[in-house]
């Protein structure tokens, strides 16, 4: 029979479900359930000869004509080699962004990135990615979605760019797992915000103030001796925070640190006499391999930011970051006429371009000399 609204309304309810087939479009029919529910469907054979069924939608929500037109479209797709039933199953099984974030963190990030970077990845995922995109299907995310998220956090460009970076790696990994087509990463055409490098160096007066504050903390016992030693080592070696934080006594040989892992991989840190004297004054705790010991037995000190804020406030350096101690080491090296190549070696830079950011500091002595010479000439000329 040709299915019409009147025909379907009159279909008998039986103890078992059955299909009333349409004689206008072959393989299109209406399933009648014992509950009285009636649903449109198609039945076809895929390219492997297997019988497949595909549900179009319920009668009432769809009119007969709408369902018949959908049936024609799906059956034409089958003739072209398509398989709507499998496509529908794949759609149902396709992960959401939230689900894939967990896969990405467990199967990729924890195996590929360092612990400090892993924490930043997790923060981006939990605070920015999941709340905005979590419920959406991973395969459906477009450039417009990424752009909207990026612009939403444009007021904090550094964070927006870090989140963009995590998303880009995540979508590349999705392509590797064939959860998205190749070259479909929606992040690539979203430009990062320009970032200003925050190069802050301590002046001789500020260095003196910091030294005075550290001495006061030492005498009064207001800060951990390990925290005080860590700050001294940071500024006397130019090391990154994580390198001093996780420094072990086993890494120290003579007047050098041999770090098995750092931001740039394994590296040797050249240590001057003042830093060696700081090391000599640090108490070793039995059973703890770390130089900068924390409160937990056998662990290193983890909370640097709160003590540092107290120390810098005492020194009158409220806006100075811990990483600025490394910049200060670099600036002193350049201003004392060490070459950029030597400064880069001391800092452990793997790329000379990284050291170039300090190049302008080498001009300061020349500017001062120009002032002196031109001043003498100016005085002579009256």
62-69 long-range contacts (CB < 8 A, ≥24 apart) are: 63/5, 64/3, 64/4, 64/5, 64/8, 64/40, 67/28, 67/40, 68/3, 68/22, 68/24, 68/25, 68/28
SS3 of 355-371: the string is HHHHHHHHHHHHHHHHH
Q: Which of 340, 345, 337 is nearest to 359 (CA)?
A: 340
Say how far apart CA 374 and CA 124 lie, in whole Å: 54
Q: Give the DSSP letter of residue 1.
A: -
Q: Give the pLDDT band of residue 364 (cuts 50, 70, 90).
A: low
Cα 152–chain centre separation: 17
Q: Is the pLDDT of residue 370 over 70?
A: no
- Contact at 8 Å (CB) between 185 and 168? yes
Per-residue pLDDT tens digits for 229-276: 999 999 998 888 989 999 999 999 988 889 887 776 788 888 889 999
pTM (2 decimals)?
0.57
CB neighbours of 204 closer than 8 A, spacing ≥ 6?
Answer: none
Q: Give the pLDDT band of residue 10 (cuts 50, 70, 90).
A: very high
Domain architecture of the chain: domains with CATH: 5-93 (3.30.160.390), 97-176 (1.10.150), 204-366 (1.10.443.10)
> For residue 49, what pLDDT is reported?
86
> For residue 369, what pLDDT is reported?
60
Greatest distance between any 2 Cα atoms in the chain: 117
CB neighbours of 281 closer than 8 A, spacing ≥ 6?
Answer: 229
> For residue 180, what pLDDT is reported?
87
Mean pLDDT computed over 300-316: 93
Q: Give the pLDDT band of residue 112 (cuts 50, 70, 90).
A: confident
Q: Is the pLDDT of residue 335 over 80?
A: no
> Whose structure tokens read 């299909």?
19
């Amino acid at each position: 029979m040709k299915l019409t609204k009147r025909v379907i309304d009159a279909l008998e309810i039986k103890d078992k479900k059955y299909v009333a087939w349409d004689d206008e479009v072959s393989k299109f029919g209406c399933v009648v359930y014992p509950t009285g529910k009636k649903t449109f469907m198609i039945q076809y054979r895929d390219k492997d000869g297997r019988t497949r069924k595909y549900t179009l939608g319920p009668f009432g929500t769809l009119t007969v004509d709408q369902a018949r037109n959908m049936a024609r479209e799906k059956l034409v797709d089958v003739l072209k080699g398509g398989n709507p039933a499998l496509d529908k199953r794949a759609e149902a099984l396709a992960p959401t962004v939230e689900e894939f974030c967990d896969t990405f963190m467990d199967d990729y990030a924890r195996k590929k990135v360092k612990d400090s970077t892993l924490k930043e990845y997790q923060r981006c995922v939990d605070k920015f990615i999941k709340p905005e995109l979590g419920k959406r299907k991973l395969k459906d995310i477009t450039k417009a979605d990424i752009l909207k998220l990026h612009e939403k956090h444009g007021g904090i460009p550094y964070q927006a760019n870090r989140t963009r970076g995590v998303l880009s790696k995540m979508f590349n990994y999705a392509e590797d797992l064939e959860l998205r087509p190749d070259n479909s990463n929606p992040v690539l055409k979203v430009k990062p915000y320009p970032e200003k490098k925050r190069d802050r160096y301590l002046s001789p007066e500020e260095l003196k103030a910091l030294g005075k504050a550290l001495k006061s903390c030492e005498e009064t016992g207001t800060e951990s001796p390990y925290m005080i030693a860590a700050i001294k080592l940071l500024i006397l070696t130019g090391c990154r925070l994580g390198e001093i934080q996780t420094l072990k006594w086993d890494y120290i040989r003579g007047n050098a640190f041999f770090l098995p892992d750092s931001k740039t991989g394994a590296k040797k840190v050249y240590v001057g006499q003042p830093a060696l004297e700081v090391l000599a004054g640090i108490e070793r705790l039995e059973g703890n391999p770390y130089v900068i010991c924390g409160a937990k037995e056998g662990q290193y000190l983890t909370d640097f930011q709160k003590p540092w804020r107290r120390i810098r406030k005492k020194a009158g350096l409220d806006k100075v970051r811990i990483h600025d101690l490394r910049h200060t080491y670099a600036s002193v090296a350049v201003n004392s006429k060490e070459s950029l190549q030597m400064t880069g070696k001391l800092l452990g830079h793997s790329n000379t371009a990284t050291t170039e950011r300090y190049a302008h500091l080498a001009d300061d002595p020349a500017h001062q000399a120009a002032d002196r010479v031109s001043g003498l000439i100016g005085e002579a000329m009256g």
